[in-house]
Amino acid sequence: MAVTLGLVPFDLNVELAADADFASTITNNVGNWAVGTVIELRLSASSSGSTPTVWPATITGANASWEVNKSSVATALAAGVSYARLHYIDAAAEDLLWGKGRVNAN
């Protein structure tokens, strides 16, 4: 018998190009995000121990969107980011790791 407790993060791939803006949206298919919800993409050079580059999403209704200019993308890539983590922080300040995976430089 096996028991899994907690949330198993889904696989995450973030595609970045140093000469292009990063734009992406997550849509909540069951309604609007709750007031106070924060969703962050945290990029780092190692799976642990490094200070991440944090890109918070803009929450509007059912959409959580990122619009990151290419200079910020280039700065992150120059810092060697290769790991990505997606965090969902609700109004009660619960910080859940939704997804984790790789940053792919294109």
SS (H, E, C) the chain: CCCCCCCCCEEEEEEECCCCCEEEEEECCCCCCCCCCEEEEEEECCCCCCCCEEEECEEECCEEEEEECHHHHHHHHHCCCCEEEEEEECCCCCEEEEEEEEEEEC
Q: What is the pLDDT of residues 47-87, one digit of tens each?
A: 666 789 999 999 999 999 999 999 999 999 999 999 999 99
Does residue 5 belong to any structural domain of this protein?
no
Q: Domain limits at 27? A: 10-105
- pTM for this structure? 0.89
Residue-averaged pLDDT of the chain:
93
**Euclidean distance between CA atoms 105 and 73, whole angstroms:** 10
- How many angstroms from the chain centroid is the CA of residue 43? 8
Which is higher by pLDDT, 65 or 91?
65
How many domains is the chain partitioned into structurally? 1
Residue 2: predicted pLDDT: 87
- CATH code of the domain containing 39: 2.60.40
Does residue 2 belong to any structural domain of this protein?
no
Does residue 92 belong to any structural domain of this protein?
yes
